[in-house]
């Protein structure tokens, strides 16, 4: 009883006297190492993003990571995932970060937390909320007073939640990263980094190791490193490990060597080949890193999925696909791969691997074809999609001005003159962000696309409705252009004349899907006549029944879109993400079992934006048991260079 009444300082003294180590984690500059509970410690970690893996599968993925021999996991906190609307915070369900941390702790994994506020991550706007752009002149990732005020408010919510999970407080978090690859950003604002350092220390205390991550070159570390934050580097397999760590030594002459992002694969873009990095290449460089006694984080260990609208984009504008498979050791669906076992073997050369059974790859099921029926075009169901009606404006407004941050907005004006002959509709300032589906009185005219298609010819009569459905395909997540405004961000012209007097409809597509978009509509419509090259954006629905009499259903599956072009799909109201088989390389979307039910038919909604197969062949999608994210399509150009995020880096 007396011990329970002792003050904390006395209890600490008792523990020391009894040689019972306190929980502690820090840096020993004399031994060039981390120290955990008083002993030298080297970690081997792997990246998993809780925002890209359904909560249902968190435990499975974490256990597979533990069984690979990892000591720790590394995860990003996407600010916009938790505060999509200003001042509205969501940490429930798939966003329950604290539950994820508990699971990691229970699995015996330490956690390296990358808290932002900016994270990159090939995630929409690098994790920054789009509502920051309501101040159009804001300088993101700088000491801009409005930006810093928003960051301080957010960190005042996030970091107090994290403090109980720090290692010295009984949790799994051993290190917290501040910002991300800031040395690759144009601002080079040390006052900003100092403000973050002060903010993190204020909320997390003085004991936790705070660190930065930058490219392995003195150039990147020049603006990315700051005294008081331990500087680590990231670099790819196949390079010169000695030279890379010498770059870290230029900022940190003593202390542990750390590669915070050792790439096990690479990111993809629509219209380019799926990135593949051989397991042997990664295993060889991993062996070199570990042989030096360095710490390493394998980025990614499992990539996961960009569900809904969460994918990011790089410049020149290239959005990333729904799959974030990354050619990682665990596949998008958590499957064990040859790479998993190759890296596990290397890790086993340097530490004792855990005993026990590795959780097997989850079974997949091919449910087969599902017939879809046309519900109506976006214009035909406009009252369901935009119940509040249009906002009227002389000139177009951006998504942010409409407080619509994701998805789609319909811009409508009338043709100011007869266009009996094909007439040029153009975006002279490349102001379609990102893709616009154009129709006149319901007749499709073509597609405008950022950086690619800035002009089309249209026809129609004076006074006809010119409807332009604009899709936000994902905000830029890396580099100086992440203040990425969406919608019609500059004027459109018709034969050099600026189009004015717009009716602008913010569309709550997800809300309409969840409230049964079929409701109050006439019978499904059938196509007649020949198949046009473009069709008006149209909703289709169908039902998937899980077969009875087969044990353990539902199981994971993949959905493919034979004959479909580009769009979005929901199952039971869950937004699976974008499909674009016409551009590739991804042809199938991962469908985790937790969104399926066996008791009643599963509701499927598809929004096809360009052209369905329904007038020429079967109007159906198909559920299969194997993914195809590496289709050989007609690619626009050569694949971007591996391990280089955008052209802007080449200018540096």
The residues annotated as belonging to the active site are: 181, 261
Structural tokens at position 312 = 């990011």
462, exposed or middle or buried, with CB in 10 Å at 0-12, 13-18, 19+? Answer: exposed
Q: 556: how many CB neighbours lie within 10 A of its CB?
A: 20
Q: Report the alpha-carbon distance of residue 180 to residue 140 in Å, rounded.
A: 13
DSSP sequence for 329-369 = SB-TT--B-HHHHHHHHHHHTTSPPPPSPPPPPPPB---EE
Torsion of CA 560, 561, 567, 569, to 10 degrees: -50
Q: 205: how many CB neighbours lie within 10 A of its CB?
A: 12
Q: 45: which strand partners?
A: 72, 297
Phi, psi angle pair for 320, to nearest 5°: -90, 150
CB 606 within 8 A of CB 358: no
Q: Report the alpha-carbon distance of residue 470 to residue 394 in Å, rounded.
A: 18
Q: Report the alpha-carbon distance of residue 289 to residue 534 in Å, rounded.
A: 53
Give the rounded distance of the alpha carbon of 542 from its chain centre: 28
**SS3 state at 111:** strand
Sign for the CA dihedral angle at 560, 561, 563, 564 comes to negative
Q: Which of 57, 18, 643, 54 is nearest to 361 (CA)?
A: 57
Structural tokens at position 234 = 């990231």
Going along 37-130, which residue ranges are E strands?
Answer: 39-41, 44-47, 72-76, 110-114
Q: Report the alpha-carbon distance of residue 330 to residue 321 in Å, rounded.
A: 18
Which strand ranges, in their side-by-side order, compose the sheet holding 391-393?
Answer: 391-393, 502-507, 408-414, 465-471, 435-440, 443-449
Q: What is the CA radius of gyration of the chain?
A: 26
Query: First CA to last CA across the chain, in angstroms?
Result: 64
Structural tokens at position 261 = 């992002």
Torsion of CA 343, 348, 351, 353, to 10 degrees: 100
Q: Report the alpha-carbon distance of residue 197 to residue 207 in Å, rounded.
A: 13
Element (H, E) at 436: strand 435-440
Element (H, E) at 107: helix 97-107
Q: Which of 561, 593, 596 is nearest to 579 (CA)?
A: 561
Element (H, E) at 421: strand 419-426
**∠ Cα 86 482 54 (to 5°):** 60
């Amino acid at each position: 009883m007396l011990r329970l009444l002792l003050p904390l300082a006395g209890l600490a003294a008792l523990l020391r006297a009894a040689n019972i180590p306190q929980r502690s984690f820090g840096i020993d500059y004399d031994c060039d190492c981390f120290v955990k509970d008083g002993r030298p410690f080297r970690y081997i970690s792997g990246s998993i993003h809780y925002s890209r893996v359904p909560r249902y599968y968190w435990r499975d993925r974490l256990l597979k990571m533990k069984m690979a021999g990892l000591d720790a996991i590394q995860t990003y906190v996407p600010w916009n995932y938790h505060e999509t609307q200003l001042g509205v915070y969501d940490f429930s369900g798939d966003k329950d970060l604290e539950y994820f941390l508990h699971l990691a702790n229970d699995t015996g994994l330490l956690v390296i937390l990358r808290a932002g506020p900016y994270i990159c991550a090939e995630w929409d706007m690098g994790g920054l909320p789009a509502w920051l752009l309501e101040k159009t002149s804001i300088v993101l990732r700088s000491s801009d007073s409005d930006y810093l005020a928003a960051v301080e408010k957010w960190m005042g919510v996030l970091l107090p939640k994290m403090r109980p999970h720090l290692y010295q407080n009984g949790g799994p978090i051993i290190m917290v990263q501040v910002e991300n690859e800031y040395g690759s950003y144009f601002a080079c604002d040390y006052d900003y980094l100092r403000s973050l350092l002060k903010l993190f220390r204020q909320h997390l205390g003085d004991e936790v190791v705070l660190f930065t991550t930058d490219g392995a070159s003195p150039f990147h570390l020049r603006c990315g490193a700051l005294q008081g934050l331990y500087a680590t580097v990231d670099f790819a397999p196949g390079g010169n490990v000695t030279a890379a760590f010498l770059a870290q030594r230029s900022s940190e002459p003593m202390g542990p060597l750390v590669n915070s992002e050792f790439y096990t694969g690479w990111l993809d873009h629509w219209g380019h080949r799926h990135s593949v990095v051989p397991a042997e290449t990664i295993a060889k460089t991993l062996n070199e890193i570990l042989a030096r006694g360095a710490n390493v984080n394998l980025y990614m260990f499992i990539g996961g999925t960009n569900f809904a609208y969460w994918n990011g984009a790089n410049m020149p504008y290239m959005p990333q696909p729904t799959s974030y498979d990354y050619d990682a050791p665990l596949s998008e669906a958590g499957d064990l791969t040859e790479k998993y076992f190759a890296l596990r073997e290397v890790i086993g050369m340097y530490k004792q691997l855990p005993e026990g059974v590795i959780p097997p790859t989850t079974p997949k099921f091919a449910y087969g074809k599902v017939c879809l029926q046309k519900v109506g075009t976006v214009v035909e169901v406009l009252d369901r999609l935009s119940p509040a009606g249009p906002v009227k404006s002389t000139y177009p407004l951006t998504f942010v001005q409409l407080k619509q941050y994701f998805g789609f907005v319909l811009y409508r004006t009338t043709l100011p003159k007869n266009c009996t002959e094909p007439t040029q509709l153009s975006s002279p300032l490349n102001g379609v962000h990102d893709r616009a589906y154009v129709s006149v009185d319901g007749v499709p005219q073509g597609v405008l696309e950022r950086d690619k298609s800035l002009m089309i010819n249209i026809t129609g009569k004076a006074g006809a409705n010119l409807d332009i459905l604009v899709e936000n395909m994902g905000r830029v997540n890396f580099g100086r252009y992440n203040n990425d405004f969406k919608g019609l961000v500059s004027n459109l012209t018709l034969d050099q004349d600026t189009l004015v007097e717009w009716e602008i409809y913010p569309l709550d597509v997800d809300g309409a899907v969840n409230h049964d978009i079929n409701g109050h509509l006439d019978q499904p419509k059938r196509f007649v006549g020949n198949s046009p090259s473009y069709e008006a954006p149209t909703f289709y629905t169908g039902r998937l029944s899980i077969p009875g009499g087969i044990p353990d259903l539902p199981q994971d599956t993949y959905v493919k879109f034979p004959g479909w072009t580009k769009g979005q799909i929901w199952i039971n109201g869950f937004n699976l993400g974008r499909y674009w088989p016409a551009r590739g390389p991804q042809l199938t979307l991962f469908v985790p079992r937790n969104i399926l039910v066996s008791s009643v038919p599963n509701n499927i909604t598809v929004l096809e934006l360009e052209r369905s197969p329904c007038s020429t062949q079967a109007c159906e999608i198909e559920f299969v048991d194997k993914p195809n994210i590496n289709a050989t399509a007609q690619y626009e150009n050569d694949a971007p260079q591996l391990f280089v995020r955008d052209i802007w880096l080449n200018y540096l």
